């Protein structure tokens, strides 16, 4: 039915009058054309989004050239980097739900025939994906593209994580004021999503493997002519996808989610992709148990390492052949990628890949000579995480893949950050940050600051960190997040005491505290109440409705 419901028949004269008033519809013949929504996330506080107004204009012109009528609307967006390390980060994950609700509201209220989504960073891409899964109208995604890596005077590449880790070094007297100032001025040189394999770029790359975006979506640079060409192509492709009647729920299946996670494992993407992809699957009506991730990981070699796990950046991945090259390398080994999955190119994922292979084996390795034989992400289970916890295995130094140590417990990110900077945390410790989950935080703040401080303090190979909260895509080290159930929901992490022995075995996928079931049950009888966050407004509603990370932190 689509837009015909708002523009056809004598009883819709008032609707047509209002549409004439917008200036987008200029004559009666325009009502015969498909109405295409452009869901843009242009905001001026996020470097990944400052150029999206221009990309929206490019898309609008291309849609109209292809025979559609384009109506642009915007969503909110939060910059996780700017929101990091203070109460603003409590709003980051909740913003995903607001974006999904807004996308659903705009599409349902105005009855677009199809939609082009232009996201770029953090929660915006998954929020838009969740919204379009609910509405299930023909959709194409095209991101704003990644930022170039910064260049320092000594020729070294730098990015946002270099700056955050520089703060830790500066605190320890290992970096001068002048060196830190150079980092902050040069690490982020212009528009685009931050230049490493952080959450934004991970999600935009996964959109290619999922099939909802065109090849190049994840790696073509934000400030390049190629990015603008991709936007034009994607905008015109919306009309073809509409004609074919291909909808998001035709594309997002258990098999295409396997493909997305296979890419994530192969390139060591952000742990946040797990949270978001589970939420997207939920909106698409797809059952995808957390345990399935370890099955994917077991068959996927880690063939690409990008900052923060290694020196390469997204621009290097693009230069080496991009996401299709990574998938092409994986397809050399049968059984890793489901080749027949549908995509918005109206071809299968295998047809999109074709004969693409790595053109730089230093950046994208082969399946026969990988960094490691299994994937970059792992899900751990045990008496501390009965419903799972997630770690970016590709970013963990081999020296600490197995770690047994005493718990040092903090009830908030701020307390843990202070402890690291003041030298309270010692080599061998296991930092526990709890009541930072979706409900307990609330909002499951991304905790890049304490993890970067651990690395900057030289403790990356001797200290682990576990939390019911989550980490930035820029996090590296033995940082285990998404512990479920979270402390605020009655999870065992809320029963820990300082000095308890934590046993972490990432290769065996286990996370335990050295306590018997009876001992944990005895502690549960005297469980302390969660901290009162003194909430008002949206966060108070969110806390009442949100579920733990193993569900994707979706609302009840």
Burial of 386 (0-12, 13-18, 19+ CB in 10 A): middle
d(CA 482, CA 271): 9
> What is the reported pLDDT for 473?
65
Encode the chain (556 residues) as per-residue pLDDT tens digits.
699 999 999 999 999 999 999 999 999 999 999 999 999 999 999 999 999 999 999 999 999 999 999 999 999 999 998 998 788 989 999 999 999 999 999 999 999 999 999 999 989 999 999 999 999 999 999 999 999 999 999 999 999 989 988 987 888 899 999 999 999 999 999 999 999 988 899 999 999 999 999 999 999 999 999 999 999 999 999 999 999 999 999 999 999 999 999 999 999 877 889 999 999 999 999 999 999 999 999 999 999 999 888 899 999 999 999 999 999 999 999 999 999 999 999 999 999 999 999 999 999 999 999 999 988 889 999 999 999 999 988 888 899 999 999 999 999 888 998 998 888 999 999 999 999 999 999 999 888 778 878 887 888 899 999 999 998 766 778 899 999 999 999 999 999 999 999 999 999 999 999 999 999 999 999 998 899 999 999 999 999 999 999 999 999 8
Q: Cβ distance 112 to 71 under 8 Å? A: yes
Which pTM value belongs to this model? Answer: 0.93
DSSP-derived letter for residue 207 is: H
Nearest-angstrom CA–CA distance, 18 and 26: 11
Distance between CA atoms of residues 429 and 423, nearest Å: 12
For residue 371, give every residue at least 6 positions away whose Cβ sits within 8 Å of its Cβ, in sequence order, or none: 301, 302, 303, 304, 305, 365, 394
Instruction: In whole angstroms, give the CA distance from residue 352 to residue 345.
Output: 8
* C-alpha Rg value of the chain to the nearest Å: 23
Answer positive or negative: Cα dihedral of 541, 544, 548, 552. negative
Token couple for 109: 């209220």
The CATH code of domain 33-149+190-353 reads 3.40.50.2300
Q: Give the integer Cα–Cα distance in Å for 162 and 188.
A: 10
62 within 8 A of 141, measured Cβ to Cβ: no
Q: Show the 3-state SS of 94-163.
A: HHHHHHHHHHHHHHHHHCCCEEEEECCCCCHHHHHHHHHHHHCCCEEECCCCECCCEECCCCCEECHHHH
How would you label 354-384 residue by residue, b for 16+ Cβ within 10 Å and e otherwise?
eebbbeeeebbbebeebbeebbbbbbbbbbb
Token pair belonging to 442: 């609330």
Given this model, what pLDDT does residue 244 score?
98
Q: How far apart are CA 23 and CA 45, in angstroms?
A: 29
Report yes or no: 69 and 36 within 8 Å, Cβ to Cβ.
yes
**What pLDDT shows up at residue 368?**
96
Beta bridge partners of 433: 410, 467
> Which strands sit side by side in the sheet containing 35-40, from one edge to the other?
69-74, 35-40, 114-118, 139-141
| Extents of the domains making up the chain | 33-149+190-353, 150-186, 380-551
Phi, psi of 254 (to 5 degrees): -55, -35
Active-site choice (472, 484, 516, 548): 472
Determine the Cα–Cα distance for residues 352 and 209; give it in Å rounded to an integer: 10
CATH superfamily name and code, 380-551:
IlvD/EDD C-terminal domain-like (3.50.30.80)
Verify whether residue 359 is a known catalytic residue. no
Instruction: List all residues 6 or more positions away from 177 whose beta carbon is below 8 Å from its beta carbon.
Output: 170
Report the length, in residues, of the chain: 556
């Amino acid at each position: 039915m689509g837009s015909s419901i708002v523009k056809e028949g004598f009883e819709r004269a008032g609707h047509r009058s209002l549409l004439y008033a917008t200036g987008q519809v200029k004559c009666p013949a325009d009502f015969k054309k498909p109405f295409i929504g452009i869901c843009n996330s242009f905001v001026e506080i996020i470097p990944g989004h400052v150029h999206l107004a221009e990309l929206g204009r490019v898309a609008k012109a291309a849609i109209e050239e292809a025979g559609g009528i384009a109506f642009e609307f915007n969503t909110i967006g939060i910059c996780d980097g700017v929101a990091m390390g203070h109460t603003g980060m409590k709003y980051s994950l909740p913003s995903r739900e607001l974006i999904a609700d807004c996308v659903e509201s705009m599409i349902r209220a105005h009855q677009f025939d199809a939609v082009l989504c232009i996201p770029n960073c953090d929660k915006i891409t998954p929020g838009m994906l969740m919204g379009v899964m609910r509405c299930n109208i023909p959709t194409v995604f095209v991101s704003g593209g990644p930022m170039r890596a910064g260049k320092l005077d000594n020729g070294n590449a730098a990015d946002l994580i270099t700056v955050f880790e520089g703060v830790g070094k500066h605190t320890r007297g290992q970096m001068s004021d002048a060196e830190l100032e150079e980092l902050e001025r040069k690490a982020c040189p212009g528009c685009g999503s931050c230049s490493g394999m952080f959450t934004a770029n991970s999600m935009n790359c996964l959109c290619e493997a999922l099939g909802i975006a065109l090849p190049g979506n994840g790696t073509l640079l934000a400030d390049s002519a190629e990015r603008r060409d991709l936007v034009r192509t994607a905008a015109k492709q919306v009309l073809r996808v509409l004609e074919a009647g291909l909808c998001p729920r035709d594309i997002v299946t258990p098999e295409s989610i396997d493909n997305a996670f296979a890419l994530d494992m192969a390139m060591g993407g952000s742990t946040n992709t797990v949270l978001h992809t589970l939420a997207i699957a939920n909106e698409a009506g797809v059952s995808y148990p957390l345990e399935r991730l370890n099955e994917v990981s077991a068959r996927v070699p880690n063939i690409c390492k990008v900052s923060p796990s290694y020196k390469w950046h997204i621009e290097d991945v693009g230069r080496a052949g991009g996401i299709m090259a990574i998938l092409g390398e994986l397809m050399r080994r049968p059984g890793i990628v489901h080749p027949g999955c549908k995509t918005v190119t109206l071809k299968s994922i295998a047809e999109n890949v074709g004969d693409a292979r790595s053109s730089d084996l230093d950046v994208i390795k082969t399946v026969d000579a990988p960094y490691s034989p299994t994937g970059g992400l792992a899900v751990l289970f045990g008496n501390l995480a009965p419903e799972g916890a997630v770690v970016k295995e590709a970013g963990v130094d081999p020296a600490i893949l197995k770690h047994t140590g005493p718990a040092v417990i903090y009830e908030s990110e701020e307390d843990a950050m202070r402890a690291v900077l003041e030298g309270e945390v010692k080599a061998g410790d296991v930092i526990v940050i709890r009541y930072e989950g979706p409900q307990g935080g609330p909002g499951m703040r991304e905790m890049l600051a304490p993890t970067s401080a651990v690395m900057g303090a030289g403790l990356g190979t001797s200290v682990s960190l576990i939390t019911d909260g989550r980490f930035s895509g820029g996090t590296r080290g033995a940082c285990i997040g998404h512990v479920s159930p979270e402390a605020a929901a009655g999870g065992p992490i809320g029963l820990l005491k300082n000095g308890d022995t934590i046993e972490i075995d990432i290769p065996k996928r286990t996370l335990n505290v050295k306590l018997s079931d009876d001992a944990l049950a005895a502690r549960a009888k005297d469980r302390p109440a969660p901290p009162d966050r003194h909430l008002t407004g949206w966060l108070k509603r969110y806390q009442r409705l949100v579920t733990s990370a193993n569900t994707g932190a979706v609302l009840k």
